[in-house]
Amino acid sequence: MIGLFLCFSQANAQLFSGESITNLENIDRTRWSWGYYLGFNTYDFDFDYKKYKSDRVFSKDISIERGIGFNVGLVGNLKLSENFDLRMEPGVSFNTRILQITKADQNTIREINSTYVHIPLLVKFSADRLNNFRPFVLAGASTSLNLSSNEKNPDDNSVGQFRMKTNTFYYEVGVGIDLYLYYFKFSPSLRGIFAINDELVRDADPNSIYTGNIEQMRSRGIFLNFTFQ
């Protein structure tokens, strides 16, 4: 946190002091570049509920309490043109979500602790550089391996075990800004990730209060990352 504070302090000093010094003039001219990132995340679930034959939707009985998690990973950047880059950002994220069934009277809360190995492939479009600042947008696809999924566990919610699928696929969109500091490039960014496939492993009981009325369950999340290159 002290390092992040120093980065913001230096960026603010250059922005408001009228300095005209251009830092790291050639850093964006290299074909390959590398770095790492640290950040925070918050996840929840997007539920599609089953319908009756009359198209009336089953009761929406599930609520999610979101926690704040942590991200860490590496960055590999391939320069495609003056304004476009292709990026691979493999990393690990940790998060906790609390799932609660609101129409049952006992044993209705599940704490879902997730550890993801997350691998995005992104296209980054950067505006032209202005002094030591350069805004960008990015988009792409990713996959993750949920190390805490319990997909193969034979136990289900009848004995307190909530299960998810191990592999998930996402699309991602985000915005950020490159700050060219004296020794390195610092890039805060905000990104949304949205799962494509159904992640729920259903209980043996088709009338389970946890899984019986769910058509699809997909993760979605927000990442706040701080990249150093």
Domain membership flag for residue 174: yes
- Find the mean pLDDT for residues 4-20: 51
Segments in the chain forming alpha helices (H): 2-17
Residue 5 banded pLDDT, cuts 50, 70, 90: very low
Segments in 18-85 forming alpha helices (H): none
pLDDT digits (tens, 9 = 90+) for 56-107: 555 567 888 899 999 999 999 999 999 999 999 999 999 999 988 876 565 5
Please give the Cα distance from 123 to 89 (Å, whole number): 11
Please give the Cα distance from 46 to 35 (Å, whole number): 32
| CATH number of the domain bearing residue 125 | 2.40.160
Domain membership flag for residue 1: no
Q: Domains in the chain: how many in total?
A: 1
Domain membership flag for residue 32: no
Domain membership flag for residue 10: no
Domain membership flag for residue 100: yes
- Helix, strand, or coil (residue 57): strand
Q: Which domain holds residue 128?
A: 39-228
pTM of the model: 0.84
Domain membership flag for residue 218: yes
Is the pLDDT score of 18 beyond 80?
Answer: no
> In terms of C-beta density within 10 A (0-12 exposed, 13-18 middle, 19 or more buried), how is residue 204 classed?
exposed
Closest Cα partner for 221 from 199, 203, 201? 199
Domain membership flag for residue 104: yes
Domain membership flag for residue 7: no
